[in-house]
Structure 1
Amino acid sequence: MSTNNGHHHHHQMVPLAVLLKRELTSEKIEKPEIIHGQAGHSKKGEDFTLLKTECQRVPGDGTTTFSVFALFDGHNGAAAAIYTRENLLNNIVGAIPSDLSRDEWLAALPRALVAGFVKTDKDFQEKAQTSGTTVTFAIVDGWVITVASVGDSRCVLESAEGSVYSLSADHRLEENEEERERITASGGEVGRLNTGGGAEIGPLRCWPGGLCLSRSIGDMDVGEFIVPVPYVKQVKLSTAGGRLILSSDGVWDALSSEAAVNCCRGMPPNTAAAQIVKEAVQFKGLRDDTTCIVVDIIPPDKLDPPVPPPKKQGKGVFKSIFRKKSSESSSTIDREFSEPDVVEEIFEEGSAMLAERLDTEYPLCNMFKLFMCAVCQVEMKPKEGISVHAGSSNPGKLRPWNGPFLCISCQAKKEAMEGKRGISTFLEKI
């Protein structure tokens, strides 16, 4: 899956500030209505969700709300999934300076997601429990959707005009060649389960530990190259809206993205989520916890009750939820400002390297608090922090003295994730 790296997409990205200015020029654009539902079939009891709709960017200011929809699929026990559900959001928000405007806040979000995921993993590993979890974490602020993911749960977006977009990457070793190369380069081994008689069975796994995912939170028993650094994608919907589907692998092992979108078209979110779970379980049987969250992002004037879908299930039926207003009310002014039904990409990055993910084109004073560790937010004295670019093999582009900076323990975490943990101690001995 080549989108994992994301660099070659950058030419078509639209700067966030441009999109938000466009939003201001057509002042009629209100925030969308957000309606969500979820459903699940539990087998092991290791899937957890977080649905939180009235989070405030500025505490006490109800106009700065955003919503969070997240799915945690635990393995080897539920501890990591529960811990992440309770702490990740605070760790993400804690990594964003408090006095930012909305567009600065949204622009800081991709880096804050990376910092929050790594901090959550680091804090959980200190508890020395061996469970792990996938995370698919969606933040919806107005028409802007930002998704961060590790593992193999997936987030899919259907725009109002019926196009289906993937907003997450699959971190299964079986599917992802780049991740296999990264792990072997860091010192891990990738291979199938050996039955002893020379036969190899099952999916590709990382050894030691035998995990088939290349990224997760937790999993301290499988070596540090299973990293918590998320793939992040940020998009802006047109004001026609769209539908988000977040599901654990129990759904995606049975259904393609298109099949999931099609099987519940025209249904309200709760029914839609139940339908997706039902289809998946019917197809595969209940082999795994199977969980689904459906979120409809709907223009405020289109909240008529959804029309039951026609018999023919096909593209365009989904639009019936987003019926255009009747023609009398649409004056020429309306037409001038109505955007095409497109989803505009703002940001995409999948690299596992912390230095790349915390680097920033913005003035750093806006993006990171000075003298704070960029990952765990601990305060550092001047000269105490280590630049995230320290020891980089690519000094040309970087200005290490500009930061961002990490505290000593986050620097150790970064080196371990890059497979460098043994090197520094080895050099000291010589």
Structure 2
Amino acid sequence: MASGEGRRHHHNLVPLAALISREMRSEKMEKPSVRYGYAAQSRKGEDYFLTKTECQRVQGNPSSTFSVFAIFDGHNGNAAAIFTREHLLNHVLGAIPRELGREEWLQALPRALVAGFVKTDKEFQSRGETSGTTVTFVIVDGWTVTVASVGDSRCILDTQGGAVATLTVDHRLEENVEERERVTASGGEVGRLSIVGGAEIGPLRCWPGGLCLSRSIGDMDVGEFIVPIPYVKQVKLSNAGGRLIIASDGIWDALSSEMAAKSCHGLPAELAARQVVKEALRTRGLKDDTTCIVVDIIPPDTSVHPSPPPKKQNKLRALLFRKKSRDSANKLSKKLSAVGIVEELFEEGSAMLAERLGNDESTGQSTSGIFICAICQVDLAPSEGISVHAGSIFSTSSKPWQGPFLCSDCRNKKDAMEGKRPSGVKVA
């Protein structure tokens, strides 16, 4: 009997490779599928975009796949947009510690996005070119969507319940009071263009340079108080999925978020992107480069695109976001799920590096024991690194010997962005 049980037990053993394969198939089945489409009409040739659906957190592991979608709307030339498209993703991924599990990787993304944006800006400005670009950069990993943005391109989320949410913040000086105050406090001047006779016309701009945005990558002739530090928002979708619409300002100058979402309801992603561009051109004409990416995050075993929303939407808006909480009320769970609720995991828009890079003693040290710069990732001797908190007035709890650490060049850039010295002026 014992030997029989032993034989039956042996018969039920499964090879380790089969178990791993089974787990990978199970995880893949639980993840949504991602389908996308894009469309563009060019007037100045300064809009660029990026779509990559086969990125891997762990090289060679298909279960670690994530997708990247981004729009780069250049101005004063296309050099900054092209450079950012080619380098930003690698800089972001290079700022994430290796050997992290998925949850830790997602938690590290917001800080890595800040470091990646600043490093890209620093490298581009070192080339001496004066063009700039807005950036809306979206990472989709399973049900989690992370968006980082500078400028006035926009990403919106259209849920299955029909509510539309904006996942970015507009950095136009005309519309953003907080950014106007930050720019002037850092040494910039904000005003309209003056013409003969003293009359002022057009939107509010930052002087010198005349840029109407408060955040971008590049624009070294404007001043480093025009910062590359992105607004970052991270949300987790319910298993109902949703649709992302990522577009340059050629779309948003013509359409509201609700109009853009409504114009392409019921269409698959590729046709939806074309329809959004078509609607924008019908409304305003081709006055600017106009680019749109539509991304559908589709639940498993669902082959159809997102369905049209119910007619009544006013009661859904207040339910769109809920903070992550361990004490979620059970009585609301069914109602929130029914309207395609999303969970907000992270949101931060501060322009201060000391706040955005965090306060973690272990962050600034590499596996070899050598300290690294939190932005450019170069190795630092312990005596070379300058704490991001050194001299900071923004957090009384921070200690100047705590990480993350910056190299001298990145510290100079941090000081310039905060108005502590004029743009381009360095100290020995």
Query: What one-letter code is carried by the residue in structure 1 that aligns with 2:349?
Result: G
Q: For each residue in 1:52-78, what CA deviation from the matched residue of structure 2 results, as whole angstroms up to 9, or x when unmatched?
A: 001011111111111000000000000
| 1:284 partnered with 2:284 | yes
Does the aligned pair in 2 maintain the 1:159–1:242 contact within 8 Å? yes
Deviation at 1:300, TM superposition (A): 1.3
Which string of whole-angstrom CA distances, capped at 9 and with x for unpartnered residues, describes residues 385-424 of structure 1?
A: 000011112452112222100000000000000011259x
SS at 1:384 equivalent: coil
The letter of the residue matching 1:205 is R
Contact 1:55-1:65 at 8 Å conserved across structures: yes
With normalisation by structure 2, the TM-score equals: 0.84
Query: For the aligned residues, what is the CA RMSD?
Result: 2.6
How far residue 172 of structure 1 moved from its aligned partner, in angstroms, is 0.2
The equivalent residue for 1:180 is 180
Please name the residue that 1:342 is paired with: 341
Matched, 1:244 2:241: no
Give the structure 1 partner of residue 391 of structure 2.
Answer: 391
What amino acid does structure 2 have at the position aligned with 1:257? S
Shift of 1:158: 0.9
**Distance in 1 between the 2:382 and 2:97 partners?**
19
Match of 2:18 in 1: none
* Higher RCO structure (Cα 8 Å, ≥6 apart): 1
Letter in 2 for 1:396: T
Q: Which runs of 5+ in 2 are unaligned?
A: 1-25, 315-332
Please list the CA deviations of residues 88-109 of structure 1 after superposition, one character each: whole Å capped at 9, or x if unmatched: 0000000000111111110000
- Which residue among 355, 365, 387 is the counterpart of 2:362? 365
Is the 2:250–2:289 contact (alpha carbons within 8 Å) kept by the matching residues of 1?
yes
Number of the residue aligned with 1:124:
124
| 2:401 corresponds to | 401
Segments of 4+ moved more than 3 angstroms = 26-29, 304-307, 312-316, 366-370, 425-428
Which amino acid letter does the alignment assign opposite residue 353 of structure 1? M
Would you say the 8 A contact 1:171–1:214 is kept in 2? Answer: yes
Please tell me whether the aligned partners of residues 97 and 367 of structure 1 are also in contact (alpha carbons under 8 angstroms): no
Alpha-carbon distance, 1:190 to partner: 0.2
- The whole-number CA distance in structure 2 between the counterparts of 1:46 and 1:226 is 20
Separation in 2 of the partners of 1:426 and 1:65? 42
What are the Cα deviations for residues 165-186 of structure 1, in whole angstroms up to 9, with x where unaligned? 1110000000000000001000
Output the CA distance in 1 between the equivalents of 2:164 and 2:395: 40
The AA in structure 1 aligned to 2:34 is I
CA, structure 1 residues 175+409, in 2 after alignment: closer, same or farther (shift >3 Å)? same
Show the counterpart of 1:96. Answer: 96
Which residue does the alignment assign to 1:354? 353
Describe how 1:2-401 pairs up with structure 2 within 5 A.
30-304=30-304, 339-340=337-338, 341-360=340-359, 364-365=361-362, 369=366, 371-394=371-394, 396-401=396-401
1:7: which partner in 2? none
Cα distance in structure 2, aligned partners of 1:132 and 1:426: 22
**SS in structure 2 at match of 1:275:** helix
Q: Tell me the CA shift for residue 305 of structure 1.
A: 6.7
The CA deviation at 1:38 is: 0.3
CA–CA distance in 1 between the matches of 2:357 and 2:158?
A: 30
Checking the alignment, whether the CA contact within 8 Å between 2:36 and 2:294 is kept in structure 1 is yes
Any conservation in 2 of the 1:262–1:313 contact (CA below 8 Å)? no
Moved more, 298-307 or 181-190: 298-307
For residue 205 of structure 2, give the secondary structure of its aligned residue in structure 1: strand
Paired with 2:305 and 2:123, the residues of 1 have a C-alpha distance of: 45
The total of aligned residue pairs comes to: 380
1:149 maps to amino acid: S
> How many Å separate the matches in 2 of 1:40 and 1:140?
22
Deviation at 1:45, TM superposition (A): 0.7
The match for 2:16 is none
The alignment partner of 2:371 has SS state of coil
Tell me the distance in 1 between the aligned counterparts of 2:376 and 2:55. 21
- Using the size of structure 1 for normalisation, the TM-score is 0.84
**In 2, Cα distance between the equivalents of 1:426 and 1:57?**
37
* Conserved? CA contact 2:160–2:306, under 8 Å: no
Offset at residue 315 of structure 1 (A):
5.9
Amino acid paired to 2:362 = C
Mapped to 2, the partners of 1:367 and 1:52 lie a distance apart of 30
Find the residue that maps to 2:98 and give its secondary structure: coil
Local SS of the residue matching 1:108: helix
Q: Distance in 1 between matches of 2:79 and 2:427?
A: 37
After superposing the two structures, state which structure 1 stretch, 367-376 or 228-237, moved more.
367-376
Q: How does 1:413-428 map to 2 (within 5 A)?
A: 413-422=413-422
Displacement of 1:383: 2.0
CA distance in 1, matches of 2:70, 2:380: 32
Structure 1 residues 281 and 75, CA gap change in structure 2 (3 angstroms) = same
Please say if residues 156 and 245 of structure 1, whose CA atoms lie closer than 8 Å, have aligned partners that are also in contact: yes
Q: Secondary structure at the match of 2:301?
A: helix
Q: Distance in 1 between matches of 2:151 and 2:83?
A: 16
Change over 3 Å in CA distance of 1:356–1:302 after alignment to 2 = same
Gaps of 5+ in 1: 1-25, 317-334
Which structure: larger Rg?
2
The Cα of 1:427 is off from its aligned counterpart by: 10
Please state whether the residue corresponding to 2:380 is helix, strand or coil: coil
User: Which is worse superposed, 119-128 or 155-164?
Assistant: 155-164
Over 3 Å counting, the alpha-carbon distance change for 1:59 and 1:364 in structure 2 is farther
Contact 1:108 1:367 in 2 (8 A): no
Deviations 1:238-296 (A, max 9, x none): 01100000010011011100000001001001111111111111111100000000000
Whole-Å separation in 2 of the counterparts to 1:395 and 1:313: 47
